[in-house]
Amino acid sequence: MSLPSILKPLDEALDSADRSQVLAAAWEAFAAAEWVADSVAFEEGSDEVQALIAAQASAAGRNLLPLPGSGHPVNVPSPPPGADSLAPYATLLRHVQAALEQAAANPGPDDGVRAAAQEAASKAATAAEALLATRER
């Protein structure tokens, strides 16, 4: 499933060679995923526990990353009913995971950022799995 157009700039920024752009895009993607998980948590047919896990993992991942120096929050609409509508957000989180793993693998001036990026990548994987499990298929 393709990403909604509102998420495409984040998806593209995750492929940047500039580590600060990758970290900022990951921060915003975590914020969007947390909002989506919160918005579907108490819908009929949603697994509240999985939604909570997705929201908490997204918040934890975001909190590991530096606050973006510029930009603005992504205004994510509520996803329509159905499990398939959450797939683009899980796909974005998997891209966050890969981008953060790449950022952690590349040498840089700050080993603390590398360690935080690796831990945040793990949170992205957890959030993606939980988000997909939130709605019954």
pLDDT of 135 reads 87
Q: What b/e string do you get for 81-117 counting C-beta neighbours within 10 Å, with b at 16 or more?
A: eebebbbbbbbbbbbbbebbbebbeeeeeeeebbebb
pTM for this predicted structure: 0.92
pLDDT of 137 reads 55
**22-51: average pLDDT:** 93
pLDDT of 43 reads 87
